[in-house]
Each structure stands twice: as structure tokens, then as C-alpha cells.
Structure 1
Amino acid sequence: MSDTITNSDLYERVRNEVPSQLDVSNVQYEGPDLVIYTETPQEFAKDGDILGTLAHALRKRITIRPVTGTQSGPSEAEAVIHDVVPDKANIHNLEFHPTTGEVLIEAEKPGLVIGQRGRTIREITQKVGWNPEVVRTPPMESSTVDNVRNYLTQERAERRDFLEDVGEDIHAAPDKDVDWVRVTTLGCCREVGRASFILHTPNTKILVDCGDKPGAEGEVPYLHAPEAMPLPEIDAVVLTHAHLDHSALLPLLFKYGYSGPIYTTEPTRDLMGLLQLDYLDVASKEGRTPPYSSEQVRQAIKHTIPIEYGDVTDIAPDIKLTMHNAGHILGSATAHFHVGSGFHNVVFSGDVHYEPTRLFNGAVNDFPRAETMIMESTYGRKNDFQTDTEKSETRVRRIIRETYEQDGIVVIPAFAVGRSQELMLVLEEAMRLDEIPTMPIYLDGMIREATAIHTAYPEYLRDGLRQRILHEDENPFLAEQFQQVDGGQPMREEIASGDPCIILSTSGMVTGGPIMSWLELLGPESDNTLLFVGYQAEGTLGRRIESGRTEVTLEGQGGRADRLTLDCRIESVSGFSGHADRRGLEQYVEEMNPQPETILCVHGDDRATDELSSALYQKHNIRTHQPKNLETFRFS
């Protein structure tokens, strides 16, 4: 591109902003960040304000990196780091990376490694020249977090090359003036699932989410649409959260030639990998051909660029992205796109929960500008009001007590990410306060691993819960009642024939996984209870059971179909969903300031999107649409 800023131009801009006594050896972009290489990292570290001043002047995220050879040797540096960092930080591991001049410090209390206003890590750099990168040791052992960190460490050199390429693309001058922006719906319209959209400008093509549709094998996003093709020419992918109806098919992009970045939050990256690998495992066990391989899952992880809530991040020459807490699951985000130089602002709500829950603060709806919103409508029907949380919890406690008194077992189909952890908090407190009898709570499927990932990122949890985990050493997820089902079917059979207990099991919509075994083991007995606490999508076995079907078909040995009659008590309790109900959705829009000019109501069935769309138009005089899949909307 003729107007692209050359490295020499960039160097001069940085050199003009940096005090003369500080060395600037080289500058280059790595992804959205501007990296300054220097032979005097110690001098940069002395001034705690210089990075903020530089970032403000250059309007970029800044990383200072020492030139190779300017640091102390790893052995000497390790001794200094242990001397500088307080013992209470409990450093578990140090990894030195000479090619980037970084030292990875893993500690139980990373705040003590960072120090007040970054004072401790600046002191480390001043004394040894290495640039510290600080990560938290998960309070619960997580194979996912360990595997992701180890993989990214192994791929550090290749990832650095990738980030340099991305940086060049992001910071090139746009070819054309931005005089329109288009949104094309590739899924998720008048249905729940297969969320996927294309955000298009004259210069840039962004894919937002790429999920599957629960209970509808083969119904995938319309990636063959002209707006999306060819897939290798998509400039970037933005993932709002890790649930499979938003993330399941992202690795498919790499199978068909995509090699660009995925922007999402750090916990979403880890959860995405966990759920996608399980998605492949379930497909294999059910005799289906997986749509992609584990190698493509690793490619997706390697190409992920994590961003934090509130950080304004360049992701294309004409688009800035800011992610905000959506209150739905760990790391879930509402994606705000600032298109052009103030030309238009588009917000993708993702899945939102507006009120705070035990796990998360409520969704953010405060944006400087938001002319257009693509908004979820899962509970958009006029009578979709969830039970008050306190009443819901009271009812769950009552159902558990009644089942316990008749020597029964409560089995709860639960999403591994989000609802399971919410219920764990409710059950732990209820037993601690003697509101229900203390009994084992068995976690089956990925629930324990997903919970471990939650504890690795407490800064994404609700304020009070974060305080308990970080500063009061009260981690409710470590309560002794929680036990992992790690003995397969024999262990399930032993639990089913034993004393009263509670079982949290995937899958949450009864579409496969260990819940099928629990149905077979516990469903025929009237003393037991099957308790639904999450959304059951149309077409899923969970929806059919919740609607009153007691004759169900399970996949048996050798592919044969086994009939099963459910005689257990079947209950549904609302109020635990990660989605806002109709009242919450309306309040989310009502309290936005300014309100959007246009709203597309998506991620809900036909009636939900229609009724929410009509209500928002009538109450707020906002232009609303109930789009179908494969529609394109132009905003100019």
C-alpha cells in the first residue's frame, strides 16, 4: 500500500517521543502492539510513567523489549528475581526466553510480583534487564491452562513471526475511504445456535463467532456465502465467548486456509480449546466424522491474540475493537467495533446477563457510541421472565432436601462452563450454612476442568468472589464435597446404587456425553430427581423431556436404539440461566446512553426475536429488525 508507514518512519516517530538518554534500537509492530527494542531497558524501567506517556502520544499499546545480550545471565537473574519478589508471592516457575528478552514468572499471587503501580516488575527490569511477563498459578490444577501455556511457549518464535505479519496488516493505511459498513448474517437468526456474522467495510472483512447448532447435526453457519468467501481473505475473527454455539467451528476456518488472528479474552481462549477438543471427542464416540482435527484446534489457539476488557485495540486499518464484560460466562464479551475515523459504531452483544450473578458482574452497556447493535434474544418472548434468583435457589434447596429424604439422587444436566460453577457456589453455601444436608457432589464430564480454568482467572469473576479467592484464601470451588467422576461407567454405577448425592453432569441439553449414562442409571427410579436449570434448545432431548416426554430413545451398543421410560421426578428451575430474561434485555437497551439507532434481534427463535424486536421499536422508537440468515444490512 502506497501510504503504509515504513519502519524508518515509525522509528522516527518513536525516537521523537522518547527522551534522548534512552536508547531505541528498533521498533516494529507485533499484532496490535508497538514493540520498542532497546539496549537500555533498565532506564525505561526507572520511569514508571513513560509507557503511559508513549501510549498516549502514539495511540498504541507499547511493549519494551531488551536487545539480546543486554540482560544478566538467567542464573544471576533468577537469584535477583527471588530476592526482589516477596516470598508470599510463591513463585512456582521461571522461564527465560532470550530471543524476546522476556522472563515468564508464574506465581500464586501475581499482584505481589507486579507490585504497586508496577514497581516490582520495573525493579526486576532495572536490575537484570529482562522484561517480566507474569501469570497466575491456578489454585486448582488445570491441564488445559498448562497445555495452552506450554504450547504457546513451544511456538513462541513462530508466533512472533505471525504477530509481525498481523502488525503490518493492521497498521497499514486503508486503501479506500470508509463510506459504508455492512453486516451479513451467516447463522443465529430466528434460531438459537450457529452464531456467525460478517462485518464488512470497503477495506476489511471481520468474522464474528462461528458456532454449531445444538441438537441439529449438519446445520452450520453459511460460510459459503459470497460475503464470507474466500475464507483465507477474512482479515480477522472475533470470538465473543467459548460456548460451542459460538466457537465450535472456528478451527474449520484453519482447515480451509485461514491463517489470520482470533481476538478474544484470555479465559475464552483456554475454554475454547477445552470445548473444541471435547467436541471432537464426542463426535468420535458417537461415530460421526469430526469436521476438523486437533491440529486445527491448536492452530486456533496459536493464532489467538488475547485482549482485556476495556482495551481499545486496532484489529484492522479502519477498525478498532473494544471488548466489555457480558456477564454470561467466564471471559464472555460484548464486542464494540469503532469503524473508520468515527464513521460508525457496531456492537455485537454476544450472550448477555445484565444483572450480576454469584459468578459475574452484570453486562456492561456503557459505550461512547453505538449506532447499530446486533443483540441476542434468547429469552425475548413477552412472557420469558425468569424466577427471581433468591426464589430459584430456595426451590433448588427444597427439591434437594425432598429427594434426600426419600433416599434419592439429584442429577442436574449442566453446561460445563458457567451454570455448573454457579450451582457449585449455591450448593457449597447451602451445605456450609446447613440449609441442605451435606452430601457428595459429583462432577462428571468437563465440569471440574472448566472450574479449574475459572480459578486461574479470578480477575474475571464477580468482585466479592474474586476478593474471597485472592485475598481471603476462601476458594469455594475447593470444598471437599466436590468429587470428580474419574472412574468411568463402573464408578457411575457405584454412585447410582449408593447413598443420596448430587450429580452435576454434562451435557446441559442432554444431547450426549455422561448425562446419557445417568439417565439410564437413575431415570427409571421414582426416588430420583432430574433437575433442569439451563436453557433447553428446540430439537434437543432436554427440551423434549422438559416438555413432558417420559419415553426417550438412547443410543445403545452397536448403534442400536434403546427405549427408556423415565419414572424419576422431573423439575425445571429458571433463574440460573446465563442469559438475560425479557425484562433484562429491555433494561439493557433502556439504560444504554446513547441508545442505538438500529437493533438486529438475533439468537432467539422466531417468536422471541419477533416479540423483542416489536417491543423495542414501540417503547424506544428504535429501528429494529428480525433478520433471517443470509441477509445483509448496510449502514452509511
Structure 2
Amino acid sequence: MIKRESFVDDILKEMREIINQMVPREAKITDIEFEGPELVIYVKNPEAIMQDGDLIKNLAKVLKKRISVRPDPDVLLPPERAEGLIKEIVPSEAEITNISFDPSVGEVIIEAKKPGLVIGKNGETLRKITQKVHWAPRVVRTPPLQSQTIYSIRQILQTESKDRRKFLRNVGRNIYRKPELKSEWIRITGLGGFREVGRSALLVQTNESFVLVDFGINVAALNDPKKAFPHFDAPEFRYVLNEGLLDAIIITHAHLDHSGLLPYLFRYNLFDGPIYTTPPTRDLMVLLQKDFIEIQQSNGAEPLYKPKDIKEVVKHTITLDYGEVRDISPDMRLTLHNAGHILGSAIVHLHIGNGLHNVAVTGDFKFIPTRLFEPANARFPRLETLIMESTYGGSNDYQMPREDAEKKLIEVIHQTIKRKGKVLIPAMAVGRAQEIMMVLEEYARVGGIEVPIYLDGMIWEATAIHTAYPEYLSKHLRDQIFHEGYNPFLNEIFKPVANSKERQDIIDSEEPAIIIASSGMLVGGPSVEYFKQLAPDPRNSIIFVSYQAEGTLGRQVQRGLKEIPTIGEGGRTEVIRVNMEVHTIDGFSGHADRRELMSYVAKVRPRPERVITVHGEPQKCLDLASSLHKRFSISTRAPNNLDAIRLK
């Protein structure tokens, strides 16, 4: 350990000499340190560096590191004084709605309805703010819907800034430690999500580093930890956790089958390193993890983790935007690319060793444009191994075209409303719900729908997070929001359901309505309550718009069961009689279907030498692997959980 610390100190000493030569003396450098995957230069006079727009870029080229310049903590004005000065400097027409501080990075986040006025002509107002308060200003557009999740995350980062800075420095020193061995081999082990859907977890190992991609839970199998949890019993994983050797965890997206067990690691002190993901994924996974706790409690179960463990997830998360390249260990470099699945979902690209091997892990992805997102990225600088999902990898897994799916959705809604019924759409609160909202909003805008659309569960809060990250949405939606000045998420036809009384009023009402409620598989959440009470009435309809996993109530209903036993009040067994119409419209899935999966491999550049199919039922993984091998003459495999595959 001492040798490694000494090695990092020697690197920093060499870098300091170069930086001192290139940075003007007036900047008054006070410290240089690795913090996470960045080299941070602390200065007392940051405006001296800001005057030269190319200085940071030139430093990054010379040092071959990501550079951040931050004000020395000693020169930062107290937040109260800084806030007052900012409000004096920025014209009132900018309509500042919130000012918050992140001491761990020396930033002041200024939310305003007109961010251009906060920036000023050629950045003049920003420079003035920097000169007066010394905090580095970050300007964001005020989200039209306020998110409690985003607010609470900012509060955590602010109150835990000292611990977080210490954590980031430890991470930086670990990344740039002296390598023990030259990278010569790579292997992967499936800890979950291989030939199954749920509990995704992939261990990537070199003779220097250990990195985990995703760490999810199979919510449908909670009664059986052996099927719900990733394989803690895998010898290499047990060894890595026991020895504290896990360098990083990368999360592809927020859904619980990919991120739901992260807080569990912190509850039992199994991990204390960095979690890499996009900003929207961080926010959404916190929302989903909190909801998971609440659902377990409401079902009378002991939650797998506590709110304080989710707080640790926030403290340990380092966010990256698409396309940003970061070192995450001595021999691994990470880049996240758009996956087109849900807000912030990412394809993980790992450049391993000095050109030794390149791996892309798709996570869940979509390869056609949707109302919310652009298609998944298919271009990488280098690529030898592609690890891709196979949820709809079977030879007959062709989804209905989007246009036909939308027509079918509207048709079922109109038929149900005509007979004075209610339409229940169980939907994942993140992704599918917003996709359906955009379809219904367009029809409502032209007068095609006139009944209220109720949003229940986490859907309203998840939608608020979507409005906070318009840059992650499709070009069409961004144009609507920024250039046309119209935000479809804010249409008055959408009505949030605040509590169980409002929910019961909607159920009891004789008026027709559309209800979008979580969860999408009828596993916990308000959708279950709506289903129980609406199912006996033949005037009502339920429309499934997403995948229904084995063992879920949603799969039972989808298969056509007319009587479903359930546990009622007092532990008594009750029977739900399903007289409502049951429809499945698969064209709204956020997963690539068979056609898209084959097309992705055809178009991905460069063409990989090997494709590994995961995240699908056994036959679908095998079918897709076989078809890819036949069509493209490349090596393919559909491994089981616990299989270890050497890539190099």
C-alpha cells in the first residue's frame, strides 16, 4: 500500500511541474490531486485560468488526463453570502428559482427559467459570479416539474461534501495506483442475468482489476434468495468482496433488475468504491430503490436495505455523460453511450489494457427511434467482444410496428370508454409510462381523447426527473420543449393521484378514465390495487405494454387465467375474478426485438469478433446466438450463470 501511495505521489509531483509551467502564476495553485477519474487543480484565483479558453484543453492533451479546475475551499464565500451576491449580479428577468451548493466540487448550481441571462453575453455574467463568490457556477434550466428525488440527492451531496471529497481522493489514488502486473488476460463471469431475465450482474476481471457491470435483483423471485440475488457464492466474486478488491461498479440503467441490490452491498459493508452511471440513472435508481423499500414494508416484509444505504449509493456515485472517457482502474477505461431504453440508459464500453481488448455491454437497449429517445449507439472506436441482451431474441419475437401499436392502443381505449369502462395500463414508472404518456398526449391534443389520464405510483415523480434532463430525450422532444416552447409532459389531461383516497375515488367513480399505474408486471404498487377492484367488471380493460416475467401476477393475467387466488386482509385467501378485457400490445417495449437485435449486429462498427447473448430466457439466448453465428460467421455464445469465459 505504501509503495502504491508513493507511486501516485511521484506521478502528481511530475504533473505539478508541468502544470506550474503552463498555468499563469496569478491563478495561485494551492493543491493538485486525483479525485475519482479526474485530476483536480485547486486555485485561489480561478478567473486567471478562465481567461485562456484553451488552457484546460492543452493541459489535458499534455497530461493525458481529464482536468478540472476548482476554487480552493478557503476562498469560497459562505453559501448565504454567495447566494445574496448571485441574486444581485443576475438580472431578475432570469427568474432564478433555486440556488444550491456542492462543496465537494466547489460548485454553485443556479436554476433559472431563462438560463441565458444567468450566463450573460459571451459568459460575462458567469465570470462576474466567479470573481465575486469564487464558487464555480453551473447553470441549469428550471425543470417545469419539481423533483423531490433530485432535491434530496443535492442535499446529500451538500451535507456529505467532506466525506465525499475524501472518498473521491481515495478513488483517484486507486485508479492511478502502480499496476502490479501487466494486463495479459481478461475474463467475464455471469453472476446473474445469463439465460434469464432479472438480477443482472457481470464480473469483468483482468490480472490487475475487478469491475462489476450492473447489480440487480429479480423482484419476481423475492421469496427465493437463490433466484432473486446475483451469485454471491461464485468463488471469484466471494474472493473479490472479502478482499475488498472490487475497483468499480457500472450501472447501465435504473431498473431494479440492473440496480436494485446496490444498497445491499453498503448495508453489509461489502463495497466502498465508486459507482459509475449517467446523472439521470443515478436519480431514477434512487427513486426506484426507495419505492422498493416501501413496497416491501407495505407487504409486511423486512426490507433488504434501509434509506441510509441508498444514501451511501448517492455518496459513492460518480456520474458521466454520454461520450465522456474516464479511467476507472489502472487498466480499464470507461465510456457510456446512449442505449435508447429508458432515460439515461447506457451501453458500457470498456477499453482494457493498452489496446489489449475492447468490450461493449449493451444492457437493455432499443435500436429504433421512439417518442422518447434516439436509437442505441452502434459506433465505437474499437470493439472485439459484444455482450448483448436477448429479451426478445427468439426467432418469432417480432414486435408490432410502433404505428400499429399506437393505433391498437387508441382503439382499445375508445372501445372501453364507449362502454363506460376504465382502462388500466400497468407500466414501469420509468420509461414505459412516459412513452405511453407521449402517445396519449398527442391524441388528446387533437381531440382524440377527452377523459382524464390518471398517473399513480412513482410515475409523476419519474416524469419530473425526465423534465430535468431534456438533453437525454429525442431530438423531436427537445425541439418541442426548447424551440416551440411546448412541453408535452405538462398537458393538463395528466392528473397525478396523491393518495389512496383519491385512488379509491377513481375506482368508485362511474366515469370512464385511463389509469397508468406502476408496477408494470402487477408486482406491488398501485396497479395491483386497481386490478383487484377493476378486474370483475367486463366494461373495463387492462392493457399490458411491457414484458411480463415468469412468476408475476401480470404473466398469469396475460395467459388468460380467469380466477386468480390472492391474499386478502387478515391473511385470508381471496379469488380475483377476471372479467375485464385483457390486451397485450408489445410494440411499446423498450427492448430491441429480434429484427432490431439482428440489425444491430449488422450495423455495429467495428464488427465484433465475438458476440455473447445474455438477459433472456434460455431458448431465446441460444436461438439468437445460433442465428448470429449463421448469418455473420462470428463466434457466439449463450453462457449460463457462473460460466467464466476468457476473452483474451
TM-score by length of 1: 0.96
2:361 to 343, 348, 352: 348
Looking at structure 2, the residues matched to 471 and 554 of structure 1 have their Cα atoms a distance apart, in angstroms, of 50
Looking at structure 1, the residues matched to 106 and 373 of structure 2 have their Cα atoms a distance apart, in angstroms, of 36
1:585 to 575, 588, 597: 597
Looking at structure 2, the residues matched to 10 and 559 of structure 1 have their Cα atoms a distance apart, in angstroms, of 67
Kindly indicate whether residue 281 of structure 2 is the aligned counterpart of residue 268 of structure 1: yes
Looking at structure 1, the residues matched to 444 and 168 of structure 2 have their Cα atoms a distance apart, in angstroms, of 49
Kindly indicate whether residue 340 of structure 2 is the aligned counterpart of residue 331 of structure 1: no
Q: Partner amino acid for 2:37?
A: P
**CA shift in 2, pair 1:339/1:111, >3 Å:** farther
Looking at structure 1, the residues matched to 565 and 527 of structure 2 have their Cα atoms a distance apart, in angstroms, of 13
Kindly indicate whether residue 107 of structure 2 is the aligned counterpart of residue 94 of structure 1: no
Instruction: Look up the SS of the partner of 2:235 in the other structure.
Output: coil
Q: Deviations over 1:429-486 (max 9, x none)?
A: 1011122x31110111111111111111111111121222234331111111111122
**CA shift in 2, pair 1:117/1:532, >3 Å:** farther
Q: Partner amino acid for 1:526?
A: P
Q: Deviations over 1:237-264 (max 9, x none)?
A: 1000000110110111112321111000
Q: Partner amino acid for 1:4?
A: V
1:148 to 127, 148, 153: 153
Kindly indicate whether residue 612 of structure 2 is the aligned counterpart of residue 600 of structure 1: yes
- In terms of mean alpha carbon deviation, does 42-51 or 594-603 score higher? 42-51
Kindly indicate whether residue 233 of structure 2 is the aligned counterpart of residue 221 of structure 1: no
- In terms of mean alpha carbon deviation, does 523-532 or 7-16 score higher? 7-16
**CA shift in 2, pair 1:166/1:506, >3 Å:** same
2:478 to 457, 460, 466: 466
Looking at structure 1, the residues matched to 8 and 337 of structure 2 have their Cα atoms a distance apart, in angstroms, of 31
Aligned length: 635
**CA shift in 2, pair 1:175/1:110, >3 Å:** farther
Q: Partner amino acid for 1:225?
A: A
Q: Partner amino acid for 2:155?
A: N
Q: Partner amino acid for 2:237?
A: A
2:290 to 277, 296, 312: 277
Kindly indicate whether residue 642 of structure 2 is the aligned counterpart of residue 626 of structure 1: no
Kindly indicate whether residue 511 of structure 2 is the aligned counterpart of residue 499 of structure 1: yes
Q: Partner amino acid for 1:371?
A: E
Q: Deviations over 1:534-569 (max 9, x none)?
A: 111122121121111121122211222211110011
Kindly indicate whether residue 374 of structure 2 is the aligned counterpart of residue 370 of structure 1: no
- In terms of mean alpha carbon deviation, does 537-546 or 81-90 score higher? 81-90
1:103 to 79, 95, 108: 108
Corresponding position of 2:310: 297
Instruction: Look up the SS of the partner of 1:198 in the other structure.
Output: strand
2:48 to 43, 59, 72: 43
Is the contact made by 2:104 and 2:158 (CA closer than 8 Å) also made in structure 1? no
Is the contact made by 1:493 and 1:521 (CA closer than 8 Å) also made in structure 2? no
Q: Deviations over 1:158-213 (max 9, x none)?
A: 11111111111112231110001111000101111110010111111111111111
Corresponding position of 2:534: 522
- In terms of mean alpha carbon deviation, does 96-105 or 566-575 score higher? 96-105
**TM alignment of 1:108-119, pairs within 5 A:** 108-110=113-115, 112-114=117-119
How many Å apart are 1:308 and its aligned residue? 0.5
Is the contact made by 1:30 and 1:164 (CA closer than 8 Å) also made in structure 2? yes
Is the contact made by 2:27 and 2:47 (CA closer than 8 Å) also made in structure 1? no
Looking at structure 1, the residues matched to 358 and 123 of structure 2 have their Cα atoms a distance apart, in angstroms, of 34
Corresponding position of 2:420: 407
- In terms of mean alpha carbon deviation, does 229-238 or 205-214 score higher? 229-238
Is the contact made by 2:522 and 2:553 (CA closer than 8 Å) also made in structure 1? yes
Gaps of 5+ in 1: none
Looking at structure 2, the residues matched to 538 and 116 of structure 1 have their Cα atoms a distance apart, in angstroms, of 57
Corresponding position of 2:409: 396
1:137 to 123, 139, 142: 142
- In terms of mean alpha carbon deviation, does 42-51 or 349-358 score higher? 42-51
- In terms of mean alpha carbon deviation, does 539-548 or 89-98 score higher? 89-98
1:61 to 55, 61, 66: 66
Kindly indicate whether residue 629 of structure 2 is the aligned counterpart of residue 617 of structure 1: yes
Instruction: Look up the SS of the partner of 1:4 in the other structure.
Output: helix
2:546 to 528, 534, 544: 534
Is the contact made by 1:64 and 1:131 (CA closer than 8 Å) also made in structure 2? no
Q: Partner amino acid for 1:522?
A: L
Instruction: Look up the SS of the partner of 1:549 in the other structure.
Output: coil
Is the contact made by 2:629 and 2:636 (CA closer than 8 Å) also made in structure 1? yes
Instruction: Look up the SS of the partner of 1:374 in the other structure.
Output: strand
Is the contact made by 1:409 and 1:496 (CA closer than 8 Å) also made in structure 2? no
Instruction: Look up the SS of the partner of 1:354 in the other structure.
Output: coil
**CA shift in 2, pair 1:75/1:206, >3 Å:** closer
Instruction: Look up the SS of the partner of 1:62 in the other structure.
Output: strand
Aligned-residue identity in percent: 47
Looking at structure 2, the residues matched to 424 and 214 of structure 1 have their Cα atoms a distance apart, in angstroms, of 25
**CA shift in 2, pair 1:77/1:517, >3 Å:** closer
- In terms of mean alpha carbon deviation, does 37-46 or 140-149 score higher? 37-46
Q: Partner amino acid for 2:364?
A: D
Is the contact made by 2:15 and 2:63 (CA closer than 8 Å) also made in structure 1? no
Report which of the two has the higher share of helix: 2
Q: Partner amino acid for 1:532?
A: F
Kindly indicate whether residue 635 of structure 2 is the aligned counterpart of residue 635 of structure 1: no
Kindly indicate whether residue 523 of structure 2 is the aligned counterpart of residue 511 of structure 1: yes
Q: CA RMSD in A?
A: 2.0
Is the contact made by 1:42 and 1:127 (CA closer than 8 Å) also made in structure 2? no
Q: Partner amino acid for 1:333?
A: A
Q: Partner amino acid for 1:26?
A: D
1:543 to 555, 558, 570: 555
1:387 to 392, 396, 400: 400
Corresponding position of 1:317: 330
Q: Partner amino acid for 1:386?
A: Q
Is the contact made by 1:444 and 1:504 (CA closer than 8 Å) also made in structure 2? yes
Q: Deviations over 1:405-448 (max 9, x none)?
A: 1111100110000000011111111011122x311101111111
Is the contact made by 1:333 and 1:349 (CA closer than 8 Å) also made in structure 2? yes
Instruction: Look up the SS of the partner of 1:157 in the other structure.
Output: helix
Kindly indicate whether residue 23 of structure 2 is the aligned counterpart of residue 18 of structure 1: yes
Gaps of 5+ in 2: none
Is the contact made by 1:5 and 1:173 (CA closer than 8 Å) also made in structure 2? no
Looking at structure 2, the residues matched to 335 and 549 of structure 1 have their Cα atoms a distance apart, in angstroms, of 40
Q: Partner amino acid for 1:278?
A: D
Is the contact made by 2:216 and 2:260 (CA closer than 8 Å) also made in structure 1? yes
2:173 to 149, 153, 168: 168
**CA shift in 2, pair 1:118/1:556, >3 Å:** farther
Is the contact made by 1:46 and 1:126 (CA closer than 8 Å) also made in structure 2? no
**TM alignment of 1:532-571, pairs within 5 A:** 532-571=544-583
**TM alignment of 1:4-15, pairs within 5 A:** 4-6=8-10, 7-15=12-20
Looking at structure 1, the residues matched to 354 and 9 of structure 2 have their Cα atoms a distance apart, in angstroms, of 18
Instruction: Look up the SS of the partner of 1:604 in the other structure.
Output: coil
Looking at structure 1, the residues matched to 276 and 104 of structure 2 have their Cα atoms a distance apart, in angstroms, of 25
Kindly indicate whether residue 202 of structure 2 is the aligned counterpart of residue 197 of structure 1: yes
Q: Deviations over 1:379-420 (max 9, x none)?
A: 000111111101110111111111111111100110000000
Instruction: Look up the SS of the partner of 2:29 in the other structure.
Output: coil
**CA shift in 2, pair 1:48/1:538, >3 Å:** same
Kindly indicate whether residue 485 of structure 2 is the aligned counterpart of residue 485 of structure 1: no
Is the contact made by 2:507 and 2:533 (CA closer than 8 Å) also made in structure 1? no
Looking at structure 1, the residues matched to 471 and 91 of structure 2 have their Cα atoms a distance apart, in angstroms, of 21
TM-score by length of 2: 0.94
**CA shift in 2, pair 1:99/1:168, >3 Å:** closer
Q: Partner amino acid for 1:207?
A: L
Instruction: Look up the SS of the partner of 2:59 in the other structure.
Output: helix
